[in-house]
A and B are shown apart, each in its own frame.
Chain A
Amino acid sequence: MAQVGIDGDSLVVEIEGLDKLWALKSRLVIPLAHVRGATADPGIAREPKGIKAPGTHFPDVITAGTFHRDGERVFWDVHDASRIVVIELADEKYARLVVQVADPQATVALIESAVPSR
């Protein structure tokens, strides 16, 4: 699971507990100007993930780490699909982050209120 917060002009995604190990990542800091939006989207868990590199993927148990699909790099940290938030990025290493959070609606509202409208 991940903790998503805003720190100044940045979106901070903290990977919690053992997921740090599975995802090989403990923290992502993204300038808010590079965040395009956030969406609660449980259904994305059923999509093909692409090629894992590096990371961990036990289907239906855990998807964590970096996955490559359609020429894009996507970061996953998900055990429970019902609490997925998809965060779309621009001009970053990752095209999007697919993370499990405690409260998807609250996380989406937090990100949408922090990201400037365009």
Chain B
Amino acid sequence: MKVLRSLALVALALVGLVAVAACGGSGGGGSDGEASAEDVKVASDIAYPPFEYEKGGEPVGFDIDLMDEIAKRANLNVEYQNVTFDGIIGGLSSNLYDASISSMTITPERAKKIDFSDPYFNADQSLLVPSDSGVGSVDDLGDATVGVQLGTTGEIKAKEFKEQGKVQGEIRTFDTIEDAFAALNNGQIDAIINDLAVSQDEAKNSGGDLKIVQVIPTGEQYGIAFPKDSDLVAPVNKALAEIKEDGTYEKIYKKWIGRAPEEIP
């Protein structure tokens, strides 16, 4: 009996808590008073070196340093959420995250769904192949299997090549670029179309097994992403402009990319 009674009490307490929480939740959602704008949830696909990856359980990389610097200047308290890239846009438009820094290229298509900061990185696409493959450019691919990361501009570019007939083989999508690199190293795919700086990093770490044979100029630029009409865009842009101006940008660039930027976006 005693057990039963305490169980009933616990159940009652739980019901009470949920009720209180429900009230609190709807109250918070109803009022538009942004009292504490400091906590921001920032989504990132943290498997994309050198822009974002984990080291000792902590996210590090170009994007992380840049975002931390922005947070310092705009008085934000950033909490990173590790997600898969293809879920970021959906997550932002349903307000699961307040922002995302994840080497995301600014495209008109994406800009319909989300807002972007000013560009923070000039990026191009690239063709990465095993050094002994004999492939010199996209035109040599024939019916080779091309790996891309799901939802990336690399995927879009690969599909463009397929429509133009330059790529006749299968285009295989992976959840993370690390999976695609593993498949390329294993010889399960023949090439990868992906952001230049990231594939460059992989080629460097492969000890000569992989190489970039073609830079595919796209003029694309990375931006920090936000839900539509987010209040964060203005303060983040202001901080970003300062960072570009006072030399901090160059310092972060040199640290992660290994050379000075040709041009600051």
Q: A and B from one assembly?
A: no
